[in-house]
């Protein structure tokens, strides 16, 4: 064998460079700097002083911070739970219906269901606030003989209501992903199982669902990341104070109030970075669990097949 | 050839544009008063710009609840406007201490303001004043006079008369007695608690008592004010828990409700939109009490960004703001914002004139949480918002709400500690 050393593959660097540079500059560097900032505190003169993990300790033990961060965490899991239990099964159900060849006008339904997710969140929040408003909503529902309770004003109902509004807006996205996966299933598989006497129910649970499991996993992770970064709907509908009485406070709104301040309360960049650090760790943990359990199992199955 | 001419033509237009821009200096005003945008652009600024054609002033407001946060971010980033609308007391003092607001000790025209007017924008030792006082706002109640006439009601002066009126409106079943919501929290605290409170805590006496540690939120007048606020709950409209400030303004303007707990700044909104007769009465006094107290809150002022590129032009504008001309223009363009200038000003709007007339009948005070008490964490003002909303939402009893506010204050404020 003639030992001719291959030339260094410079083209790889050239092709990788734009993505690596942009990603490092705008994602990795700010992330690391934010984590650095969370280990500092500002002294009386405005100078940053290194305090290690004291900010995190303060966030979880200080009587002022503890109820806020625990409340935001709890609400965030409820918010995530609503999406996992309502949005994703609903999306799967709709996708199964709308990928069927026997439903007429399915592209129209798909477009209609997808439409809310391209609307501005400000518009969504405004319209729903109007519909549920005690002043305008009253006029809207009075002809139907319905008196609407103040859904967005009661601590018990505000968060589930906002969760369902968010589901209404976003259900089209996982639906489209599921539709794409379902359409990709070869007809032979379905037909063969039909010949073997499988009912429609069997076909869905034994053939289709196992084949789109990778998509189910991706949708789950996207929901997780999206929900723990959620902020805009709560902010536009309930303000940064997460009314009523912090009942709709998510990590995102807590971060906003802490970092930027609110009304007379001034913001604290270091404590804000600490809240952001907690958000980052939670999301990192969730994504790791996904990568090391769900995706690894899928890969193993794929190899065995 | 045609192309060359076209290019030359475009170039000339661009160049003249540039030279013109060099002649006029643009000043940007940061403000939270987005309700007033058209009044500044159409009424106030043209008068100034006519006198100083080389200065172009732009009014650039942010939503009220966002203002402080947005302004801080802009100041830190060096992108804030040249003129900064000042919140009273600690917020602006913090900006001055951080070096973002310029000292205005030497500004021509500052002698047009008395010490009380300047008190909200001066350092604790009185050595530096950093904002030109613009206006105070007064709390009271605005009512729909058509509804009062229809139901044969009269303006209440005492608390028991107030409840009698509310009961009569409620019994009629046609109108919401009190138009107020708790969704935005500040509405409950500002229009509710700080509106009726001074009558219970004896105005300045109670407020200064909190500052020197002799008064507490969970006893005496401050507790009674929470109890009085809690008594409003049966008179609020359906779904008041989800009713925003804008909802309240709309509901009252549409004639759905009879009495609106008001800040005087609401007058201009109702003047523009309501097609019924308006009336006003001051916060009712507890039965048997002789003296009355009103919240006459030094609310708004204008300072100069220390980092402005046009300090001379900004000072020219601020000096103009100290003039009686500005005071008259502003007070009448925005009925309900009462100038703090020493100049005698005629107020044309009868409701606004009635509000400002209460200054002669009652003792004035400012909101209890603004001076000194909002310096620490938890923030006293934000605590009052939550407490007032909770009391009306029946989430806390008045005693529980008052205890929460008091313990918040005791966490960091020395004179209130260890007692």
Q: What is the pLDDT of residue B4?
A: 61
Residues B288, B310 within the same domain: no
CATH number at residue A107: 1.10.3720.10
CB contact under 8 A, B239 and A239: no
When divided into structural domains, chain B yields a total of 2
Q: For chain B, say whether A265 makes contact (Cβ under 8 Å).
A: yes
Q: How far is B406 from chain A (nearest CA, A)?
A: 14
CB B329 within 8 A of CB B343: no
Based on its alpha-carbon atoms, the radius of gyration of chain A, rounded to whole angstroms, reads: 24
For residue B363, which of B225, B219, B237, B198 has the smallest C-alpha distance? B198
Q: Report the percentage of chain B scoring pLDDT > 70.
A: 94
Instruction: Concatenate the DSSP letters of all residues of B141-152 into one string.
Output: EEEEHHHHHHHT
> Of A152, A153, A240, A256, which to mutate for an interface test with B (greatest number of B Cβ within 10 Å)?
A153
> Of A165, A243, A267, A272, which to mutate for an interface test with B (greatest number of B Cβ within 10 Å)?
A243
Lowest mean pLDDT among A69-73, A82-86, A186-190: A186-190
Whole domain around residue B336: which residue ranges?
Answer: 2-135+298-346
> Of B62, B87, B183, which to mutate for an interface test with A (greatest number of A Cβ within 10 Å)?
B183
- CA A179 vs. chain centroid, Å, equals 20
CB contact under 8 A, B70 and A260: yes
CB contact under 8 A, B238 and A147: yes
Q: For chain B, say whether A241 makes contact (Cβ under 8 Å).
A: yes
Q: Does residue B210 sit within a domain?
A: yes
The dihedral of CA A200, A201, A205, A209: what is its sign? Answer: positive
Mean pLDDT of chain A: 88
CB contact under 8 A, B87 and A138: no
User: B183: which chain A residues are within 8 Å (Cβ-Cβ)?
Assistant: 152-153, 243-244
User: A234: which chain B residues are within 8 Å (Cβ-Cβ)?
Assistant: none
Q: Does residue B358 sit within a domain?
A: no
CB B3 within 8 A of CB B57: no
Q: Does residue B199 sit within a domain?
A: yes
Would residue A194 be called left, alpha or beta, if left means φ above 0 and alpha means ψ between -120 and 50 degrees?
Answer: alpha
Q: Does residue B351 sit within a domain?
A: no
**A172 Cβ contact partners less than 8 Å away, ≥ 6 residues apart:** A91, A110, A113, A114, A115, A116, A117
Residues B117, B183 within the same domain: no
Q: What is the pLDDT of residue A227?
A: 93
**pLDDT mean over B126-150:** 93
Residues B42, B103 within the same domain: yes
Q: How far is A15 from chain B (nearest CA, A)?
A: 35
Q: How far is B206 from chain A (nearest CA, A)?
A: 21
Distances (CA, A) of B65 to A82, A129, B186: 29, 18, 9
Residue A19, pLDDT > 70, answer yes
Distances (CA, A) of B84 to B59, B78, B79, B223, B317: 10, 13, 12, 36, 12
Burial per residue of B206-244, b for 16 or more beta-carbon CB atoms within 10 angstroms, e otherwise: bbebbeebebbbbebbbbbbbebbbbbeebbbebbbbbb
Residue A176, pLDDT > 70, answer yes
Tokens of B115: 């010490």
Residue pLDDT, tens place only, B114-124: 887 888 899 88
Q: Does residue A56 sit within a domain?
A: no
Q: What is the pLDDT of residue B390?
A: 93
Residue pLDDT, tens place only, B321-360: 999 999 989 988 888 898 888 877 788 889 999 998 898 8
Three-state DSSP state, A207 = helix
> Of A264, A267, A270, A272, which to mutate for an interface test with B (greatest number of B Cβ within 10 Å)?
A264
Helix crossing, B204-212 with B194-201: angle to 10°? Answer: 80
Residue B19, pLDDT > 50, answer no
Confidence at A60, pLDDT banded by 50, 70, 90: very high
Residue B15, pLDDT > 80, answer no
User: B182: which chain A residues are within 8 Å (Cβ-Cβ)?
Assistant: 153, 244
For residue B242, which of A155, A163, A68, A75 has the smallest C-alpha distance? A155
User: B411: which chain A residues are within 8 Å (Cβ-Cβ)?
Assistant: 63-64
Locus of tokens 């034994």: A206
Q: Which residues of chain A from 123 to 142 reach within 8 Å of chain B, CB to CB?
A: 129, 132-135, 137-138
Locus of tokens 């709308």: A98
Locus of tokens 């700080």: B194
Q: How far is B31 from chain A (nearest CA, A)?
A: 13
Q: How far is A5 from chain B (nearest CA, A)?
A: 53
For the CA atoms of A47, A48, A49, A52, the dihedral, rounded to the nearest 10 degrees, stands at 170
What 3 state SS string does B20-36 have?
Answer: HHHHCEEEEEEECCHHH
Q: Does residue B356 sit within a domain?
A: no
CB contact under 8 A, B65 and A240: yes
User: B250: which chain A residues are within 8 Å (Cβ-Cβ)?
Assistant: 135
Residue B140, pLDDT > 50, answer yes
Q: How far is A266 from chain B (nearest CA, A)?
A: 7
Residue pLDDT, tens place only, A106-162: 889 999 999 999 999 999 999 998 888 888 877 788 888 887 888 888 888 999 999
Q: What is the pLDDT of residue B164?
A: 95
Residues B119, B16 within the same domain: yes
Residues B145, B125 within the same domain: no
CB B126 within 8 A of CB B93: no
Q: How far is A208 from chain B (nearest CA, A)?
A: 44
Q: Does residue A35 sit within a domain?
A: no
Q: Does residue B357 sit within a domain?
A: no
- CA B221 vs. chain centroid, Å, equals 23
Task: Enumerate chain B positions whose Cβ falls within 8 A of a Cβ in A.
Answer: 65, 68-70, 72-73, 87, 90-91, 94, 98, 181-186, 237-244, 247, 250-251, 254, 256, 369-370, 374, 377-379, 381-382, 385-386, 389-390, 393, 395, 411
Q: Does residue A11 sit within a domain?
A: no
Residue B202, pLDDT > 80, answer yes
DSSP label of B84:
E
Residues B238, B214 within the same domain: yes
Residues B172, B114 within the same domain: no
Q: Does residue A52 sit within a domain?
A: no
How far apart are alpha carbons B322 and B395 in whole angstroms?
46
Q: How far is A147 from chain B (nearest CA, A)?
A: 9
Residues B303, B261 within the same domain: no
Q: Does residue A265 sit within a domain?
A: yes
Straight-line distance from the first to the last Cα atom of chain A, in angstroms, rounded to the nearest whole number: 37
Mean pLDDT of chain B: 89
**pLDDT mean over B372-401:** 90
Which candidate from A133, A241, A245 shows the least CB-CB separation from B390? A245
- Could you give the maximum distance between any two Cα atoms of chain A, in Å? 89
Residues B223, B145 within the same domain: yes
CB contact under 8 A, A267 and B238: no
CATH number at residue B103: 3.40.190.10
Residues B222, B339 within the same domain: no
CB contact under 8 A, B393 and A245: yes
Locus of tokens 């969760």: A163
How far apart are alpha carbons B338 and A204 in whole angstroms?
71
Residues B287, B185 within the same domain: yes
Residue pLDDT, tens place only, B277-312: 999 999 999 999 989 999 989 989 999 999 999 999
Which candidate from A129, A134, A152 shows the least CB-CB separation from B237? A134
Q: Does residue B166 sit within a domain?
A: yes
Residue pLDDT, tens place only, A229-282: 899 999 988 888 887 888 899 999 999 988 887 766 777 888 999 999 999 999
Q: Rank A71-80, B7-16, B58-67 by mean pLDDT and report only the highest.
A: A71-80
Burial per residue of A15-41, b for 16 or more beta-carbon CB atoms within 10 angstroms, e otherwise: eeeeeeeeeeeeeeeeeeebeebbbbb
Residues B246, B333 within the same domain: no
CB contact under 8 A, A243 and B184: yes
A243: closest chain B residue by CA? B183
Q: Does residue A276 sit within a domain?
A: yes
Helix crossing, B311-321 with B324-333: angle to 10°? Answer: 70
Which candidate from A135, A148, A243 shows the least CB-CB separation from B251? A135
Q: Give the DSSP H/E element, type plus range, for residue B251.
A: helix B245-253
Q: How far is B201 from chain A (nearest CA, A)?
A: 23
Q: Does residue A277 sit within a domain?
A: yes
Q: How far is A240 from chain B (nearest CA, A)?
A: 9
How far apart are alpha carbons B109 and A44 in whole angstroms?
34
B404: closest chain A residue by CA? A64
Task: Give ∠ CA B326-B328-B334 in degrees, rounded to 5.
Answer: 95
The runs of H, that is alpha helices, within B86-143 are 90-97, 115-118
Q: Does residue B22 sit within a domain?
A: yes
Phi/psi for B261 (5° steps) reads -65, 120
Locus of tokens 């401050």: B222
Whole domain around residue A134: which residue ranges?
Answer: 64-304
Kindly report each contact of residues B75-79 with a partner whose C-beta sits within 8 Å and lies 24 or more positions away, as own/partner. Answer: B75/B100, B75/B305, B75/B307, B78/B307
User: B68: which chain A residues are within 8 Å (Cβ-Cβ)?
Assistant: 261-264, 266
Q: What is the pLDDT of residue A20?
A: 92
CB contact under 8 A, B389 and A154: no
Confidence at A21, pLDDT banded by 50, 70, 90: very high
CB B190 within 8 A of CB B369: no
When divided into structural domains, chain A yields a total of 1
Neighbouring-strand partners of residue B29:
B59, B83
Q: Does residue A10 sit within a domain?
A: no
CB B356 within 8 A of CB B347: yes
| ipTM of the complex as predicted | 0.73
CB B328 within 8 A of CB B235: no
């Amino acid at each position: 064998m003639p030992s001719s050393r291959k030339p260094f593959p410079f083209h790889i660097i050239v092709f990788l460079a734009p993505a690596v540079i942009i990603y490092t500059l705008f994602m990795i560097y700010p992330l690391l700097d934010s984590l650095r900032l969370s280990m500092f505190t500002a002294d009386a003169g405005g100078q940053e002083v290194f305090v290690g993990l004291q900010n995190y300790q303060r966030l979880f033990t200080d009587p002022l911070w503890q109820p806020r961060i625990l409340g935001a965490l709890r609400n965030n899991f409820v918010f995530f739970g609503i999406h996992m239990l309502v949005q994703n099964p609903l999306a799967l159900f709709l996708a199964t219906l709308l990928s069927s060849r026997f439903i007429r006008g399915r592209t129209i339904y798909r477009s209609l269901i997808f439409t809310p997710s391209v609307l501005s969140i400000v518009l969504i929040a405004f319209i729903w606030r109007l519909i549920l408003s005690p002043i305008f909503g009253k006029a809207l529902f009075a002809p139907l003989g319905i008196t609407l309770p103040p859904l967005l004003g009661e601590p018990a109902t505000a968060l589930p209501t906002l969760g369902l509004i968010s589901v209404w807006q976003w259900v089209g996205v996982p639906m489209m992903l599921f539709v794409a996966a379902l359409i990709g299933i070869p007809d032979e598989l379905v037909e063969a199982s039909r010949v073997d006497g499988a009912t429609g129910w069997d076909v869905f649970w034994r053939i289709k669902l196992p084949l789109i499991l990778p998509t189910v996993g991706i949708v789950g992770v996207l929901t997780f990341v999206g929900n723990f970064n959620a902020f805009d709907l709560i902010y536009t509908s309930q303000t940064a104070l997460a009314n009523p009485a912090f009942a709709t406070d998510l990590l995102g709104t807590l971060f906003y109030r802490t970092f930027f301040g609110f009304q007379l309360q001034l913001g604290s960049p270091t404590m804000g970075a600490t809240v952001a650090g907690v958000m980052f760790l939670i999301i990192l943990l969730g994504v790791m669990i996904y990568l090391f359990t769900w995706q690894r199992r899928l890969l193993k199955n794929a190899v065995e097949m | 050839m045609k192309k060359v001419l076209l290019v030359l033509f475009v170039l000339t237009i661009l160049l003249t544009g540039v030279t013109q821009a060099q002649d006029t200096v643009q000043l940007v005003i940061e403000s939270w008063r987005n309700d007033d945008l058209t009044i500044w652009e159409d009424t106030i600024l043209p008068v100034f710009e006519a006198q100083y054609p080389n200065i172009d002033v732009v009014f650039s407001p942010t939503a009220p609840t966002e203002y402080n946060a947005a302004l801080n971010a802009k100041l830190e980033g060096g992108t804030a406007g040249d003129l900064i609308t000042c919140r009273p007391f600690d917020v602006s003092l913090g900006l001055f201490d951080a070096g973002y607001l310029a000292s205005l000790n030497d500004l021509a025209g500052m002698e047009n303001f008395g010490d009380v007017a300047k008190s909200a924008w001066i350092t604790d030792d009185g050595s530096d004043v950093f904002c030109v006082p613009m206006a105070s706002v007064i709390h009271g109640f605005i009512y729909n006079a058509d509804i009062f006439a229809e139901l044969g009601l009269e303006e209440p002066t005492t608390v028991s008369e107030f409840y009698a009126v509310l009961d009569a409106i409620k019994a009629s079943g046609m109108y919401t007695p009190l138009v107020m919501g708790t969704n935005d929290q500040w509405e409950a605290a500002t229009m509710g608690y700080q509106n009726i409170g001074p009558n219970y805590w004896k105005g300045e006496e109670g407020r200064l008592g909190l500052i020197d540690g002799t008064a507490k939120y969970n006893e005496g007048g401050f507790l009674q004010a929470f109890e009085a606020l809690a008594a409003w709950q049966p008179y609020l409209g359906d779904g008041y828990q989800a009713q925003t400030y804008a909802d309240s303004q709309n509901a009252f303007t549409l004639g759905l409700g009879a009495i609106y707990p008001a800040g005087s700044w609401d007058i201009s909104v109702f003047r523009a939109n309501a097609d019924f007769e308006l009336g006003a009465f001051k916060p009712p006094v507890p039965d048997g009490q002789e003296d009355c107290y009103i919240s006459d809150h030094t609310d708004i002022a204008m300072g100069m960004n220390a980092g402005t590129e046009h300090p001379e032009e900004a000072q020219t504008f601020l000096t103009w703001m100290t003039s009686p001309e500005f005071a008259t223009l502003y007070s009448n363009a925005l009925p309900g914002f009462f100038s703090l200038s020493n100049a005698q000003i005629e107020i044309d709007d009868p409701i606004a004139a009635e509000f400002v007339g209460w200054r002669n009948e009652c003792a004035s005070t400012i909101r209890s949480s603004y001076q000194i008490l909002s310096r620490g964490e938890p923030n006293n003002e934000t605590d009052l918002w939550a407490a007032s909303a909770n009391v009306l939402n029946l989430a806390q009893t008045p005693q529980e709400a008052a205890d929460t506010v008091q313990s918040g204050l005791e966490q960091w404020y020395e004179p209130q500690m260890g007692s």
